[in-house]
Amino acid sequence: MELYAGAGFFTVGLARQFKRVVAVESDRTATGDLERNLAGAGLGGVEVRTSRVETVLSNLAKSRDSKPDAVLLDPPRTGLVRGAAKQLATLGAQRIVYLSCDPATLARDLRIICGDLADERPRYQLSRLVGLDLFPQTPHVEALAVLDSLG
């Protein structure tokens, strides 16, 4: 599952590696571009959902559908909206890969996803964190976090 898929920068690569991909993006123009990019690459097996991420996460939490093996997300600078991090953590994916353009919102969201709260048991552990300086000589840095399920 890919959240905040946009026009498919990661979706095309994921579709080449996985039998089934669910790509979620709220912007209709972006999902139209995503579908054209997939068609142009001759790729199938991708379900494109034009919906807000928190709506999809909420619906998955309520349903008995199978859980995703892995989730890749690249949210906006503001990170996940209130409640979405907890919903993501309860999906039960074996791995979560979170690409962030703001280390502060990444840290906030990971604290919730990993269950680092006094009243909850840990759900995920951070197995890898990589900083990427894509904009040299600016204060901006991308951070890629890989989380593995603890159970």
Report, as residue numbers or ranges, the catalytic residues.
101
Q: What does each C-alpha distance from 72 to 12, 21, 118, 120, 135 come to in angstroms?
A: 13, 10, 27, 24, 22
Residue with tokens 């919730």: 112
Starting from the edge strand earliest in sequence, which strands make up the sheet with 142-149, in order? 46-50, 21-25, 2-3, 70-73, 95-100, 142-149, 124-132
* Residue 149: closest CA among 99, 98, 110, 96: 96
Q: What does each C-alpha distance from 42 to 36, 39, 72, 127, 149 come to in angstroms?
A: 10, 5, 22, 34, 33
Neighbours of 124 (CB within 10 A): 23
